[in-house]
């Protein structure tokens, strides 16, 4: 009887541990990011005043909001690197690092993406763009109007080419189309919450 009880307790602990690990490493990142109480929504098409970091040069601006400690951010580094390589001559790419726990250098971040592009550590950029989680993409047209704010893909590994939302937004803007319409999976924030970038 004792043996059965011990075995039952052991299996319960094992399944509880597996469930906890699944929650910590996978499931919680598939849930929408909670919207902060003081969140001020920035509508698509709004003029974004970022003159301190983005002088006008007739090119669109793409912000990658990134936290090196966020699993979702780490998984999409290769995808963002590919976007920079593919569109870097037509779009001003910028990385905004949002992390309150560690200090990173500009060179460390540039090395992760294999690109010498501007890197900022200013939470105010996220606030002005209406970003509440990492990773998030923000695309501004050449006049600094908000063209797209959302996710890169419906999978955090960016493996589904049919839902490369950020890339679709870039292609649409470069073809001078109206802002594309996306489903909730593209526009609802997922990933690691701000300001501490942890769920």
pLDDT, tens digit, 9 for 90 and up, residues 173-185: 999 877 677 887 7
Put simply, whether the predicted model's pTM sits higher than 0.85 gets the answer no
* Torsions phi, psi for 154 (to 5 deg): -75, -15
pLDDT tens string, the chain, 199 residues long: the values are 666 665 555 545 544 444 333 334 444 445 666 677 888 889 999 999 887 777 767 899 999 999 999 888 888 999 999 999 999 999 999 999 998 878 899 999 999 999 999 999 999 999 999 999 999 999 999 999 999 999 998 765 556 677 799 999 999 999 987 767 788 778 888 888 886 544 4
Residue 22 is encoded by which pair of tokens?
Answer: 């699944």
Residue with tokens 């909670």: 34
The closest alpha carbon to 46, from 123, 127, 118, belongs to 127
Q: By CB neighbour count within 10 A (0-12 exposed, 13-18 middle, 19+ buried), where does 82 fall?
A: middle
pLDDT confidence of residue 28? 43
| Residues contacting 62, CB < 8 A, separation 6+ | 83, 87, 91, 92, 93, 94, 137, 138, 139, 140, 166, 170
CA dist 98 and 95 (Å) reads 10
Do the beta carbons of residue 133 and residue 191 sit within 8 Å?
yes
Residue with tokens 């010498």: 116
pLDDT confidence of residue 7? 55
The closest alpha carbon to 119, from 41, 65, 156, belongs to 65
Q: By CB neighbour count within 10 A (0-12 exposed, 13-18 middle, 19+ buried), where does 153 fall?
A: buried
pLDDT confidence of residue 199? 40
The 10s digit of each residue's pLDDT in 125-151 is 999 999 999 999 999 999 999 999 999
The closest alpha carbon to 86, from 25, 18, 171, belongs to 171
pLDDT confidence of residue 187? 82
Task: Report the run of H or E that residue 12 belongs to, with start and end.
Answer: helix 2-25
């Amino acid at each position: 009887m004792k043996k059965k009880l011990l075995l039952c307790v052991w299996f319960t602990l094992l399944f509880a541990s597996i469930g906890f690990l699944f929650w910590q490493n996978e499931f919680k990142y598939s849930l929408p990011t909670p919207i902060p109480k003081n969140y001020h929504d920035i509508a698509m098409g709004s003029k974004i005043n970022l003159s301190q970091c983005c002088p006008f040069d007739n090119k669109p601006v793409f912000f990658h909001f990134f936290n090196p400690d966020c699993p979702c951010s780490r998984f999409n580094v290769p995808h963002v690197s590919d976007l920079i390589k593919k569109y870097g001559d037509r779009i001003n790419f910028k990385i905004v690092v949002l992390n309150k726990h560690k200090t990173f250098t500009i060179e460390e971040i540039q090395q992760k993406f294999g690109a010498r592009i501007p890197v900022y550590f200013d939470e105010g950029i996220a606030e002005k763009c209406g970003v509440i989680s990492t990773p998030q993409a923000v695309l501004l047209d050449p006049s600094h109007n908000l063209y797209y704010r959302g996710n890169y893909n419906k999978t955090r590994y960016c493996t589904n080419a049919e839902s490369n939302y950020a890339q679709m937004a870039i292609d649409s803007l470069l073809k001078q189309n109206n802002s594309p319409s996306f489903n909730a999976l593209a526009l609802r924030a997922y990933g690691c919450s701000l300001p501490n970038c942890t769920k």
